[in-house]
Structure 1
Amino acid sequence: MGIIRVNDIKIFTNHGCLEEEAKIGSEYRVDLEVKTDLNISAKSDDLDDTVDYVLLNKIVKEEMLIRSKLLEHVAQRILDRIFKESQMVEEATVSVSKINPPIGGNVGEVTIIMSQQSKS
């Protein structure tokens, strides 16, 4: 078993429950971790034998651009696509952070973290 991390994916998009958030948008950060068997690719040196982190980054960026009211909804879509598009992933954890959220105080970020295991 091994771990692939794609950290600090920065995206400007428009999630949130408030109308203003839909109009003006906010900065977000996504961190992703997937667990998979890295033994085969460590020996073969072949991209087809591992989880492609370019694909993981693409999934995150595409799903983050689809507006949702809740960060949990976005995170679940990211997890669903990871398992749909890469059968090699055994477990995945995604954290989605809204930078400087409009919650009436001096808060640097709000983060949700969700994990899921493969159903196979």
Structure 2
Amino acid sequence: MGTIKLKNIRTYSYHGCLVEEGKIGSDYAINLEIKTDLRKSCLSDNLKDTVDYVLLNTIVVEEMDVRSHLLEHVGHRIITRIFKEIPSVSRIFLGVSKLNPPIGGDVEAVTIEMEEYRN
């Protein structure tokens, strides 16, 4: 087994329960870690034998473009889509952070973290 990590994917998205968040938007940072078998690609040096991190990034960015009220909801969509589109992924650890959240305090970020295993 092996791990592929995408660290600090940055998006400007429109998630949140407040009406203003859907209009104004906010900065987000997403961290994604997947487990997969890297033995074949270690020997073949061929992209078709591994998980393409360009595809992982594309999935994250596209799902972040779809408005959700809760970070948990968008996180679940990202995880579901990765499992659906990439059968070789066995585990996903995902963190979605809203930077400078509008919560009436000096808070750098609010983050949800989710971990799921393929059934």
Give the corresponding residue for 1:46: 46
Aligned residues: 119
Unpaired stretches in structure 2, ≥5 consecutive residues: none
- Aligned runs of 1:27-106 on 2, under 5 Å? 27-106=27-106
Amino acid at match of 1:49: D
Distance 1:83 1:23 in 2: 31
Give the corresponding residue for 2:19: 19
Amino acid at match of 1:33: E
Large movers: runs of 4+ above 6 Å: none
Amino acid at match of 2:74: V
Aligned-residue identity in percent: 57
Unpaired stretches in structure 1, ≥5 consecutive residues: none
TM-score (normalised: structure 2): 0.99
- 1:56-93 Cα distance to aligned partner (Å, 9 max, x none): 00000000000000000000000000000000101011
Amino acid at match of 1:112: I
Residue 62 of structure 2 aligns to a residue in which SS? helix
Deviation at 1:31, TM superposition (A): 0.5
Amino acid at match of 2:8: D
TM-score (normalised: structure 1): 0.98
RMSD: 0.5
- 1:26-73 Cα distance to aligned partner (Å, 9 max, x none): 000000000001011000111111111000000000000000000000
Distance 1:5 1:58 in 2: 14
